[in-house]
């Protein structure tokens, strides 16, 4: 093992993340190399120092608040029963309640897709497969999700494809296509929708992001961007036009 290898592995060594073969090669090197030995010592000393940093335990009032919420909302089974009861009630009492519920569900999904996009932007992992070629992006999703999202070349309409990634929305893994609109990425979250009756597009603004939702060809589309809402409308039209009829 060279010094370069040893320095590369020093963190994994002090964190006990090397397998036994690597660990013994590492030790052999360090035993004969004073400089790498000192690097290990410095890392271990630093660990000791950092472990002396404050550990912030949850304040009692926070613990009580969370406990109270746990008890009022009950266990999952009761919660599911309650939710089922609400659905039955809504069906029984008519469209108004159902629409309120659908609105709440729509807002919850919009919040989830925006949160995912923020997270992706923050972690610089907006795309996992980077390609402007739909023939590269489309197969990337195969085997990762149980449906084939429509991947269209919209560059003529001013939306070059930047790539794709996966996201988890409301417990299911969905496809995300990222198109570029000038300097702004537009993420389009796509998943199959059982109830894909054509509906007017739903437009929301969530935490400074514009969100546009529509359904087409059995798929639910949620487009999210920090660019303006009109771009999303153009994008929806382009995707609809690109779709097979």
Partner 1 sequence: MSRSFEETVLPHLDAAFNYARWLTRNDVEAEEVVQDASVRALRFFSNLRGNDARAWLLAIVRNAYYARGPRRIEPFTELPADHEALLADEGLGPEALTLQQETVGHVRDAIEQLPVEFREAVVLRELEGLAYKDIAEVTGVPIGTVMSRLSRARDRLLAILAAATREGVRP
3-class state of residue 213 by DSSP: strand
3-class state of residue 35 by DSSP: helix
Say whether residue 35 binds partner 1 (CB under 8 A): yes
Nearer to partner 1, 157 or 206 (CB): 206
Q: How far is the CB of 11 from partner 1 (least distance, A)?
A: 5
Q: How far is the CB of 42 from partner 1 (least distance, A)?
A: 6
Angle at 242 between CA 133 and CA 201, to 5 degrees: 115
Say whether residue 77 binds partner 1 (CB under 8 A): yes
Nearer to partner 1, 58 or 142 (CB): 58
Could you give the dihedral angle defined by the CA atoms of residues 70, 74, 75 and 77, in that order, rounded to the nearest 10 degrees? Answer: -150
Say whether residue 76 binds partner 1 (CB under 8 A): yes
Say whether residue 118 binds partner 1 (CB under 8 A): yes
Q: Which of 90, 115, 148, 196 binds partner 1 (CB under 8 A)?
A: 115
Residues 202-221 that bind partner 1 (CB under 8 A): 207-208
Residues 6+ apart with CB under 8 A from 72: none
Angle at 105 between CA 102 and CA 111, to 5 degrees: 140
Q: Is 212 within 8 Å of 223 (Cβ atoms)?
A: yes
Q: Which of 38, 103, 184, 199 binds partner 1 (CB under 8 A)?
A: 38
The backbone torsions φ and ψ at residue 3, rounded to the nearest 5 degrees and listed phi first, read: -60, -35
Residue 186 parent element (H or E):
strand 184-192
* Nearest alpha-carbon partner for 154 in 229, 230, 210, 236: 236
Q: How far is CA 138 from the centre of its chain?
A: 19
Say whether residue 53 binds partner 1 (CB under 8 A): yes
Counting Cα atoms < 13 Å in the Cβ hemisphere of 48 gives: 6
- Range list of H helices, 2-125: 3-14, 20-32, 34-51, 60-73, 76-93, 95-122
Q: How far is the CB of 150 from partner 1 (least distance, A)?
A: 26
Say whether residue 119 binds partner 1 (CB under 8 A): yes
Q: Which of 2, 15, 85, 173 binds partner 1 (CB under 8 A)?
A: 15
Q: How far is the CB of 244 from partner 1 (least distance, A)?
A: 34
Q: Which of 3, 44, 100, 243 binds partner 1 (CB under 8 A)?
A: 44
Q: How far is the CB of 64 from partner 1 (least distance, A)?
A: 11
Q: Which of 48, 92, 94, 143 binds partner 1 (CB under 8 A)?
A: 48
Question: Which residues of the chain form contacts with partner 1 (CB under 8 A)?
Answer: 10-12, 15, 17, 35, 38, 41-59, 62-63, 65-67, 69-71, 73, 75-77, 79, 111, 114-115, 118-119, 121-123, 125, 171, 207-208, 226
């Amino acid at each position: 093992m060279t010094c370069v290898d040893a320095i590369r592995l020093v963190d994994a060594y002090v964190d006990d993340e090397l397998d036994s073969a690597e660990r013994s090669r590492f030790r052999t090197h360090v035993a004969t190399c004073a400089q790498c030995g000192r690097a290990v010592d410095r890392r271990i000393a630093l660990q000791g120092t950092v472990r002396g940093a404050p550990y912030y335990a949850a304040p009692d009032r926070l613990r009580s608040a969370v406990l109270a919420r746990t008890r009022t909302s009950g266990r999952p089974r009761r919660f599911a029963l309650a939710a089922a009861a609400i659905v039955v009630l809504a069906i029984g009492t008519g469209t108004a309640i159902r629409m309120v519920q659908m609105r709440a569900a729509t807002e919850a999904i919009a919040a989830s897709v925006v949160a995912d996009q923020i997270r992706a932007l923050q972690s610089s992992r907006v795309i996992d497969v980077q390609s402007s070629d739909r023939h590269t992006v489309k197969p990337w999703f195969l085997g990762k999700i149980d449906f084939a999202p429509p991947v269209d070349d919209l560059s003529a309409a001013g939306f070059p494809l930047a790539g794709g990634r996966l996201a988890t929305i409301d417990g299911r893994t969905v496809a995300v296509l990222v198109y570029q609109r000038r300097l702004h990425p537009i993420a389009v979250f796509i998943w199959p929708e059982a109830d894909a009756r054509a509906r007017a597009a739903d437009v929301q603004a969530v935490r400074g992001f514009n969100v546009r939702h529509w359904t087409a060809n059995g798929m639910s589309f949620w487009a999210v961007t920090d660019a303006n809402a009109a771009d999303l409308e153009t994008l929806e039209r382009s995707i609809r036009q690109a779709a097979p009829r």
